[in-house]
Amino acid sequence: MAQYAGETMSAIHRRHAARGVVRSPIAGIPAARWVVLLASAWILFGLIGHDPWKPDEAYTFGIVLDYLRTRDWVVTTLAGEPFVEKPPGIYVVAGAFVELLEGVLPAHDAARLAAGSFVALALVFLALTAREIFGRGFASAAVLILLGCVGTLPRMHQLIPDVVLLAGVAVGMYGLALARRSLWTAGAALGLGAASAFFGKGLFGPGVLALTALLLPVFPAWRTRRYAAALAVATVVGALPAALWMHALFARSPALFHEWLVNNNFGRFLGFSDLGPPPNPPGFYLVTLLWYAFPALPLAGYALWTAWRRGDATARTSLQLPALLGAVVAVVLGAAHDSRELYLLPLTLPLSLLAARGLSRLPPFGAKALTLFARWTLGPLALVLWLAGLALVTGIPSSLQSTLLEHQPGFEPVVQWPALVLALAVTLSVAWVLASGPSSAGRALVQWVSGITLCWTLAMTLWLPYLDAGMSYREIFRSLARALPEGDCVASLYFGEGQRGLLVYFENVTTVRLERAPDAVCRTLLVQRTRLTGAPAPSEEWVPVWEGARAGDRKELYRLYRKDVAAGQPVARFPE
């Protein structure tokens, strides 16, 4: 980045661009190649080897199954019913992965690889944006900071529409950065990013990119005719595919179009539609960000503070785009009625960019603090995961094993030797990285991300069978299917979205929801409620024949009723 709108980089900027903020901990391996290897391992661990987990991943995979059956990219369905909460981006791509890897991986594992591909795309364009606005040496730092954020770790390994939104915002962000010196490439990137974000989660992604694009001309670097022309190109590129899908949806069903546009976009944002979980208390995002975006948040704040304190015009210019985008995303999220920690995922992109700049100026005591925090928080956590994992499979000490098995009745611990060897290899490698001294802020960041990767690897190797036993619906639905009569439809009441899709996947059973078809004449009824309230039938004519709850879930309770049996017969229960 030698010249931007006539501005020359400072000596500090050139020095960091030349030598890189992050260096490889292994001699002979370039930093960029080492970061690619670490990011690949970070992405792949946790993508395969377990069933779809609730809540978001379960219903998403259910829609993927229906898409593979109907090939309908306009009106997506869940267990046979229209489900137009989100555009079809993740469902179409996940379906392609399922078809491509049929016979190689189970359908749910193959579908989850789509999430990994979108995360990889987001990391690539985050790196390109960092290189564009800061210089070559900052790309690896921005990627590592995003990987090191505590809250992104589980979400970026799930089959959810939000990973498509993340990738779209990353591509659009790169287009905005490039627009200072390019027209067609920048316009295409911004338009494609907005379109991708739209097909991920609707209007939110294109909205924050558009607001940011319209506000950027307050800064001289974006107050040019080239930038205006790039926005025109982006509008055409981004609007055409989105308009095509919206027109197709409206032509198919104006009622479903209204449900998608009004209820699921504006209704959720403004709070006039009764969708989603109850709203969180005021200040939810402020409190959540403290842990969710660590260490990006404090490093980003340090970057802004040093740029203001030192009066460095070049540094201030390079921070304009990520600071503005971060502010727009934060304001839009704060103004929304609906709030979840998941919605913070796009905010980590501009925060990671700001943090990469802050990392380059972090004083030695800051680097030492980050190293000590990595060693004395992530190190002990990894040790606990190891000791408890060994106790689970060996029974030493027996009291700890008994406590763990109480939470997963029926789980039989078995040593998984490939997983054990892999966990040991990663542990030894990360221990070597953590033991080295913090010669720089970049090395301290490497130690933090390595520690995060170690803890995640241990959870996804030593603990994956145990976690899956508590999160999966496979066994409980298998027990439920054994209690179902043959040749009769099954009605359901209060049956969750994800559960409906997974019941079709595991047992090929589609329920008739009484909420939509109250006159259904099924003789079998499945009711989902909570353990606290029970799962009562709507009338006394229903006789309970089966009851179950997942061992790892302290809330959900399922009860199966029938009309054609005598009262007083024994009720089958899961776990048996």
**Which band of pLDDT confidence, cut at 50, 70 and 90, is reported for residue 378?**
very high
Q: What was the pLDDT predicted at 569?
A: 77
The pair of structure tokens assigned to 533 is: 């309230």
Is beta strand 77-78 parallel, antiparallel or unpaired with respect to 7-8? unpaired
Residue 113 · residue 99 · CB < 8 Å: no
Is the pLDDT confidence value at 13 over 90? no
Q: What was the pLDDT predicted at 273?
A: 78
Q: 175 in helix, strand or coil?
A: helix
Is the pLDDT confidence value at 176 over 60? yes
On average, the pLDDT of the chain sits at: 91
Is the pLDDT confidence value at 324 over 70? yes
Is the pLDDT confidence value at 14 over 60? no
Is the pLDDT confidence value at 407 over 90? no
What percent of the chain stands above pLDDT 70?
Answer: 94
**Which band of pLDDT confidence, cut at 50, 70 and 90, is reported for residue 24?**
low
Residue 88 · residue 73 · CB < 8 Å: yes
Residue 281 · residue 292 · CB < 8 Å: no
The pair of structure tokens assigned to 543 is: 């006789």
Kindly list the distances between the CA atom of residue 444 and the CA atoms of 83, 153, 344, 350, 379, in Å, as whole numbers in the listed order: 46, 19, 25, 21, 14
Q: What was the pLDDT predicted at 27?
A: 54
The mean pLDDT value for 10-27 works out to 52
Lowest mean pLDDT among 242-246, 264-268, 295-299: 264-268
* DSSP conformation class of 88: S
Is the pLDDT confidence value at 9 over 50? no
CA gap 327, 20 in Å, rounded: 28
**Which band of pLDDT confidence, cut at 50, 70 and 90, is reported for residue 55?**
confident
Q: What pTM does this model have?
A: 0.93
- pLDDT single digits (tens) 70-93: 999 999 999 999 999 999 999 999
The mean pLDDT value for 339-352 works out to 96
Q: What was the pLDDT predicted at 550?
A: 85
Residue 51 · residue 154 · CB < 8 Å: no
Kindly list the distances between the CA atom of residue 509 and the CA atoms of 79, 107, 242, 470, 546, in Å, as whole numbers in the listed order: 9, 17, 34, 22, 16
**Which band of pLDDT confidence, cut at 50, 70 and 90, is reported for residue 99?**
very high
Residue 496 · residue 55 · CB < 8 Å: yes
- pLDDT single digits (tens) 27-52: 556 677 888 888 998 999 999 999 99
Is the pLDDT confidence value at 6 over 80? no
**Which band of pLDDT confidence, cut at 50, 70 and 90, is reported for residue 280?**
confident
Q: What was the pLDDT predicted at 278?
A: 74
Q: What was the pLDDT predicted at 125?
A: 98
Residue 209 · residue 190 · CB < 8 Å: yes
**Which band of pLDDT confidence, cut at 50, 70 and 90, is reported for residue 448?**
very high
254 or 437: whose pLDDT is higher?
A: 254
The mean pLDDT value for 235-257 works out to 97
The mean pLDDT value for 259-281 works out to 85
Neighbours of 31 (CB within 10 A): 22
Is the pLDDT confidence value at 18 over 70? no
Residue 168 · residue 59 · CB < 8 Å: no
> Which of these, 379, 357, 341, 284, lies nearest to 162 by C-alpha position?
341
The mean pLDDT value for 352-372 works out to 93
65 or 21: whose pLDDT is higher?
A: 65
Q: What was the pLDDT predicted at 25?
A: 64
Q: What was the pLDDT predicted at 437?
A: 72
CA gap 377, 379 in Å, rounded: 6
The mean pLDDT value for 294-316 works out to 89
Lowest mean pLDDT among 26-40, 51-65, 118-132, 230-244: 26-40
- pLDDT single digits (tens) 483-517: 999 888 999 999 999 999 999 999 999 999 999 99
Residue 409 neighbours by CB under 8 Å, 6+ apart:
551, 575
Is the pLDDT confidence value at 416 over 50? yes
**Which band of pLDDT confidence, cut at 50, 70 and 90, is reported for residue 54?**
confident
